[in-house]
Structure 1
Amino acid sequence: MIRTPRRRREEPLDHAELARLLPAPGDPELSSDRLNGLEEHLMTEIRNLTSDTAPDASPHTASDTSPGASTGAPPVGAPARNRAPRPARRPGRRPVLVGVAAALVLAAAGIAGLAGSSGGSGGSGRAVAPPAGAVPAPVVQVVRGSTAGLAGAVAEISGAAARAELPEPGPGQFLYVRSEVSWLVSWEGADGKNRSYVDEIHPREVWMSPDGDKGWLMEPYKEAVDRDGITLDDPEGGVRTLNSPSYDYLRTLPTDPGLLLKKIYDETGGMGNGPDQQAFSTIGDLLREQVVPPKLAAGLYRAAARIPGVVLVDDSVDAAGRHGVAIARTDEADGARTEWIFDRETYTYLGERTVQTRDAEGIEAGTVRGRTAVTDRAVVDAVKQRPAGLGDAPPSA
């Protein structure tokens, strides 16, 4: 019988032999969708922590999901750049929560890495299927934007915003916003090629107290959010900024477009992909999932029109399939154009769309990276209470 010679005690095992001695790694304990959700949650916590610890600075994007960044919110489930988004802007969390999120993501990444080393196509370590719930991203013709007609459209939009009869919250009440959202999902196939997938369009509901200290988020489509929702409470009452606002904070902002734009540039200097893009993204974040006082909304639209690179797009479509005109700007860094969509007749805000204008980062031109549609804004008496006609949310556990 042939025996393997004994190694000297001080001689270390090489990696190949060590691998043979260990059991083969099993299937991942977390799905890729779950892993993506945890990663997005970590990035959201990091951005909010940055906002809480860096005075007068904007952490952002989403859009990116920010249906993310800003190409929107990312809301939960969206990659950092694609908003993800960018969910409701919630108060900064304590560092210990960020640590927990980081540990979960690192653990999940380790599990996925072990599974990839033994599975997949030819042992490549790449997923053979997109994340659960993802569908191919729609591709549209990129409509060229223009400054022609921009001033007139902005005048109509800001006028409609100033005349809007929005709900005014009273003591103990909550602002409620319901949206339909979808954001880009990062996925690399077994052949090493990137493919553009997006979340299926799904509902997202946010409740926030006027001071921003209490809130609730429901987005049960996302594994990172419990079916019953997650709290947005901030027991310590975080400092409010442009990137972590509350309704009460928004009421303190100037409504003059020039003063507004100066404040935005001053507070977000050095953030994002250049000052102009960050200013546009910041205004978009304020509009996406907030109830903005009418005069302030009018001022924000007029301020946005003064940002270099902002154009008017004749036709865009929100996540609910509604067509409208759009105020838009393209991020020079990656070619993603964020479009704020308004009804052609009433000029009310409908939602947001992000379209890739050129091939970049493995995403082809025309790919719709994210979509949102605001379907309800209201004032209710408690978290998880919906306006009349929508029914009540599930009771708290």
Structure 2
Amino acid sequence: MDEISILKETFGPDAAPSPEAEQRAREALRDRMAPRPKAAWRLRIPIVVGLATSAAVVAAVAIANLGGAGPAVPVTTPERPQEQTQAAAKVPYLRPVNAAQVLENAAWTVEQEQWTDPAPTQFMYVETLEMRNPPAYEQKAPNGALLPGKAKYRKIQKWDRIDGQVQATMRNGKLETLRQGQDGTYFAFVPWSQIIKLTSPEAIAAYLEHPEGGVMAVPDALAGQYVLPPEVKAAIFRYLAQQPGMTVNPDAVNLDGHPAIGLGRVMEGYLSQELLFDKQTYTLIGERLIAVKDESGRGDGRKGDLYRQVIYRKMAIVDRPGDTG
């Protein structure tokens, strides 16, 4: 999916953004993104970037615990919650005191999951909930903080074929499918042959230095955008545990009724990019981008501003686009 298609999907047929808004969106996101290594596309947010273009559209900003932000939508829960609760009592750290211990609990949790290797023709299905500002405001402030009481939930459904050649999304209730190279459009996708090699923190570090296929997703993005084998997701959590500056955000977070622990690192001196884990099961349930200090120098961001929050609803391997597991 190209950038302009994403913007059209976001704003809908009745509120298309102006060219000036599109350009502001691209420039704002580019300012927030770290420089890319040569010949590699770095994916940090759950938006697929067209390889045929150099600009990126602004990420959806979101937050789930703002008053008046729309109806709650239940997060998918395990089929056997009692068994998972019992398993959670066996995690390595019953009362984790730092980010490394929370991440080790999360790694242990995913290692208990059952897994069957997918066929190249099967699809990764990822369903998320995002919160979005009203379209008119997004045109004026495409990369601004979420407006309390005005942002609304939006369900995102995406299917990526394991071989990276087909991608599908649900738009306005209609399933739309793209193929690599169709009408000159290309979408970034980390090769499955690369993904299955990421079974240790050392392998992940090597991948970040030399990504296969010239497409790189930072570990945080891999964990939220791809349906991963348990050993790969566990390795990602253990890799993150080794990174300097990884901390537990002491602020309470509530994702649709699920108390969550926020783990992340501060970027640009004031933004905390966090993964959110269920406090009892240590399952990864979302992500957010929050200002932990006042922005200085180039903007008007204030401590407590929320720029992004996503709830991970469902991740599954399915046979065809439209299937949800």
Give the shorter-chain TM-score range. 0.5 to 0.7
Which residue is equivalent to 2:164? 212
What does 1:1-397 correspond to in 2, within 5 Å? 34-35=17-18, 39=22, 43=26, 56-60=39-43, 70=44, 72-73=45-46, 87=47, 89=48, 92-94=50-52, 138=66, 148-166=97-115, 168-183=117-132, 186=138, 188=140, 196-197=146-147, 199-220=151-172, 227-235=173-181, 244-251=189-196, 253-265=197-209, 282-314=218-250, 316-317=252-253, 320-333=256-269, 335-360=270-295, 361-387=299-325
Tell whether the 8 Å contact from 2:63 to 2:306 is kept in structure 1 after alignment.
no
Tell whether the 8 Å contact from 1:211 to 1:249 is kept in structure 2 after alignment.
no
Matched position secondary structure for 2:174: coil
AA aligned to 2:105 is E
Tell whether the 8 Å contact from 1:210 to 1:248 is kept in structure 2 after alignment.
no
Cα offset, 1:267, TM superposition: 5.2
* Inter-partner Cα distance in structure 1 for 2:157 and 2:37: 28
Out of 161-170 and 293-302, give the one that drifted further.
161-170
- The TM-score, its normalising length taken from structure 1, stands at 0.54
- Taking only the aligned residue pairs, the percentage that are identical comes to 19
Tell whether the 8 Å contact from 2:63 to 2:307 is kept in structure 1 after alignment.
no
Cα offset, 1:173, TM superposition: 2.1
* Inter-partner Cα distance in structure 2 for 1:188 and 1:137: 24
* Inter-partner Cα distance in structure 2 for 1:309 and 1:176: 32
* Inter-partner Cα distance in structure 2 for 1:150 and 1:311: 5
Matched position secondary structure for 2:313: strand
Cα offset, 1:320, TM superposition: 3.3
Provide closer, same or farther for how the CA distance between residues 382 and 267 of structure 1 changes in structure 2, counting only shifts above 3 A: closer
Q: Moved runs in structure 1, 4+ residues, more than 4 A?
A: 30-33, 40-44, 53-56, 134-139, 183-189, 265-268
Provide closer, same or farther for how the CA distance between residues 233 and 264 of structure 1 changes in structure 2, counting only shifts above 3 A: same
Provide closer, same or farther for how the CA distance between residues 356 and 380 of structure 1 changes in structure 2, counting only shifts above 3 A: same
* Inter-partner Cα distance in structure 2 for 1:292 and 1:341: 17
Provide closer, same or farther for how the CA distance between residues 300 and 169 of structure 1 changes in structure 2, counting only shifts above 3 A: same
Which residue is equivalent to 1:223? none
Cα offset, 1:209, TM superposition: 0.7
Radius of gyration: which is bigger? 1
Matched position secondary structure for 2:102: helix
Cα offset, 1:39, TM superposition: 2.5
Tell whether the 8 Å contact from 1:327 to 1:339 is kept in structure 2 after alignment.
yes
Spell out, residue by residue over 1:219-269, the C-alpha distance to the aligned partner (whole angstroms, 9 max, x if none).
54xxxxxx5254342148x9x99x731444311x2322133224325559x
* Inter-partner Cα distance in structure 2 for 1:136 and 1:302: 27
Tell whether the 8 Å contact from 1:183 to 1:369 is kept in structure 2 after alignment.
no
AA aligned to 1:365 is K
Provide closer, same or farther for how the CA distance between residues 256 and 369 of structure 1 changes in structure 2, counting only shifts above 3 A: same
AA aligned to 2:278 is D
Provide closer, same or farther for how the CA distance between residues 32 and 309 of structure 1 changes in structure 2, counting only shifts above 3 A: farther
* Inter-partner Cα distance in structure 2 for 1:217 and 1:306: 35
Cα offset, 1:36, TM superposition: 8.3
* Inter-partner Cα distance in structure 1 for 2:198 and 2:63: 42
Tell whether the 8 Å contact from 2:65 to 2:253 is kept in structure 1 after alignment.
no
* Inter-partner Cα distance in structure 1 for 2:261 and 2:166: 35
Provide closer, same or farther for how the CA distance between residues 375 and 340 of structure 1 changes in structure 2, counting only shifts above 3 A: same
Provide closer, same or farther for how the CA distance between residues 321 and 181 of structure 1 changes in structure 2, counting only shifts above 3 A: farther
* Inter-partner Cα distance in structure 2 for 1:209 and 1:195: 33
CA RMSD of aligned residues (A): 4.3
**Number of residue pairs aligned between Structure 1 and Structure 2:** 260
Which residue is equivalent to 1:394? none
AA aligned to 1:180 is L
Cα offset, 1:43, TM superposition: 4.6
Cα offset, 1:162, TM superposition: 2.0
Matched position secondary structure for 1:177: strand
* Inter-partner Cα distance in structure 1 for 2:233 and 2:64: 35
